[in-house]
Every structure is written in C-alpha cells, then in structure tokens.
Amino acid sequence: MKYKPHEYQVYATEYILTHPIAAVLLDMGLGKSIITLNAIFDLTLDGFLIRKVLVIAPLRVARDTWPAEIEKWDHLKGLKYTVAVGSEIQRKTALRKRAQIYIINRENIEWLISKSGIPFDFDMVVIDELSSFKSHQAKRFRSLIKVRPKVKRIVGLTGTPSSNGLMDLWAEYRLLDMGQRLGRFIGRFREEYFVADKRNQQVIFSYKPKPGAEEAIYRLISDITISMKGSDYLKLPELVINEVQVKLSEKEMDTLDTMKRDLITTVKGEEITASNAATLSGKLLQMANGAVYDDQGEVIHIHDRKLDALEDLIEGANGKPVLIAYWYKHDLARILKRFDVEVLSSSDSIKRWNNGEITVAIIHPASAGHGLNLQAGGSTLVWFGLTWSLELYQQTNARLWRQGQKDTVIIHHLIAKSTIDERVMKALKDKDNTQSALINAVKATLKEV
C-alpha cells in the first residue's frame, strides 16, 4: 500500500529524527507505529545512523501489529524485521537473525537482558506503550535501566502517560533521559512535587501534587515531549457513551452493603471476606457483576441482573456486531454459558471479527488494550464489568472508536445502581482530567513548525 502521510505524521516522524530522546504521546488511532517506522527507516537504511533497533511492545502488538504494519507499506519493503516471541528457542533463533528491527514482548525484557546470554547491542530502543514501564519496582524497568546507557536513541510511545496521576511520569522519564529532568530518585521527585494525601497514621496510601507541581513537571519534560490528540487531527466517528443502570434486589443490595461495612458477608452459606481496601474493592466489583470468589476460590453466584441487561443490548442490536469487555473469569464463564459468544484470543479470531464473520465477541481489556485494530468488525462495545484502570479503559474503547471506523460508535456501560460501579465510573472520568492536563500541556502545534 502506498503511504500518504498526514501533516501531523510527517511532523511526528521528523520529531523522532531530530530528538535522540523522544516521548511521543500520540492519542489512539494517530498511527504511532508507521510514524516510528518511517523514522527507523531513515535512521537505518537512509542515514545509516542506527544499526539495530529493539521494539518492546505488548505481546499481541509485538506478534501481530508491528509485523503487519511493516508488511503493509510499500516504502518499508527494504526494512528487515524479526519477532522474538514464543518459546525460548524461538526467541533466541529470532534474535540471532540479521535484521534492522528486533521485536519483543515486554514480559521478556528481563529474560533478554539477564538470562538469554545474548549481548544487548541495540543502539536504538522503541517502547510501545511507555506507560507499561511506570513502575520503578517492576523487573522490566530494573532490567532495562541497566542497559539504558548503551542506547544512543530511545523513543517512548503512549497515549496514556499518566493514567493514574503524575507520579507515573517519574519512572517513564527516568528510563528515557536517565534522570536528567525529573531526577534520578523517586524519593526526591516525590518530596519536591507531592504531599501526602490519604494516610493511616505513618502509612501513606497516596500523594497529591503540590500547587504548581503539574506546570513545573510539564515544563521540565517539554523539550523531549510531543503530544497530539486524535480529536485535533482525525475525523473520528461520532461517539455515544451510554450508562445502562442495573437495579439489584433489596436482598442482593443487603449482601453488598454488609460486605462493604464489615469486610465479610455470607452468600449461600459461604463466607466472603476481604483483608484490605483493595481486596474489598475487587469483591464489591465482582458482586456488582453477579458472582464472587469465596475464600476457597470457588465461584458463588449472586444475581443475573447484568446478564439480563446484556441480553437486552444484544437483542436490541438486531444482528449488528457487539463486542463485550469483561474483567473477571467468572464473568466470562457466565457470559459464555448464556450466549453464543466468541472469545477474541487469537490472530485468526481477530481476523474473522474484522471480516464481519462474528456477531458477538468478547475480549479482556488487558489483551485488547493496546494496538489491536477491531474497528472493521463492529461499532458497539459493552462494558460488562468496569476497571479502575483509565489506561485500559481508554485503550479498549479506542479499538472501535478510531480512524477507519465508518459507523457511530456506541459504548454501553452496565452500571449496578448504588454500588461501587458508580464510583469507578466517576473515577474514570475524574482521572481523565489529569491525563488531559498532561496532553494539553505539551501538545504539538503544527503552526510552530
């Protein structure tokens, strides 16, 4: 296919070429892969400035999206790539091939650096979904930071750099610039820009930015950061957000209220307990969906209210394809038992969905979150259960609401009335304020080019 870049894509590619360290915050659907590949082509086959590029991505994106993007465009035909996923033997075989681009899933970064026995001799690294390196305690971060000084060029790609707040940015930019802008130590970053928020005596659960901290942080990172929102550059289809209220019975609500108040409840003779706030949140979300794991890991059924609402939505679609997002395994099991649904878990199932061969499909946000193009298969998404993760929420929505979608996108949320569902929905909206602030603060203005 012949590549006809948008003006913003030319700008973004040039930004990568002129910035050895680049944080490229591209909204979903703007084509971050092809933008980056154009820069890689120029750096490797045109300018000969780079020899080997390591692309780190989520598994499905590494396996399917990047190879498909390279094969798609005529002007990239000379670019050789190899995909290091699968068994250890398969990964080693792929890494020993001669190529310009070596693609690996992020879960194998620790293996590559510490266990594979293969020298880390990449002079450029591309991190697709930089936000997956937001934890400085994660093995993938610790492994990559060890070899970061060997890398001449690094690009961080994401549409959601601070999905859980500004604290996320420290690890991401520590990896990019080795601490030049936000400091080398998380403790100092925290002391300078944040104050304790929620706490229990000496235990601090969360922090909030000091007055003026957001502006100061954005200013520090602005020289290596470009940001673009899809709404500024793309003609996206109309989006309809719908909240479908599901009402539980008085008995069902009593069960949830008891759990919330006492951290323990009994359902059908089985005890359900929660040891802390995080566990309680998970239990309450499960119960709002209609089932919950007991203390032995067995599934206890509570209600079918959301299944009934889902049936109404599928019936109302009148044969139009419907994509369902689920969170818990027992949600999946109950949905599969009741409906004729196909799980989008393989390249083949995704292809058949996009070919219009699947009427009702279901997918987990963690596997749908990044890089998958599902817009050709349908335009209706139903959130059976919600997630606290703004990143996964936005990215999953963007599988359908993106460039190339021809129909109005309708996103339904099944919300159990007067339950934790309502709080999660509000939290997702509130978190977006911080996210939008970052995007707007460093947004590229093409007029300045």
404 and 300 co-located in one domain? yes
Range list of β-strands (E), 211-263: 225-228, 239-246
222 and 350 co-located in one domain? no
pLDDT tens per residue, range 327-356:
999 999 999 999 999 999 888 898 899 999
Instruction: List, run by run, the mean pLDDT of 10-residue segments along the chain (449 residues).
Output: 89 96 86 94 93 93 88 92 96 97 96 96 95 93 97 93 85 97 95 83 78 93 90 80 90 83 66 68 90 86 93 88 95 96 90 93 82 85 92 89 86 93 86 66 54
Q: Angle, nearest 10°, between helix axes 420-441 and 390-397?
A: 80
17 and 118 co-located in one domain? yes
211 and 351 co-located in one domain? no
What CATH number is given to the structural domain containing 312? 3.40.50.300
Q: Which residue segment(s) compose the domain that 107 sits in?
A: 7-234+436-448
167 and 276 co-located in one domain? no
Query: Which residues are within 8 A (CB) of 335 and not within 5 positions of it... i.e. 6 or more apart?
Result: 307, 310, 324, 326, 341, 362, 384
What pTM was estimated for this model as a whole? 0.72
Is residue 2 assigned to a domain? no
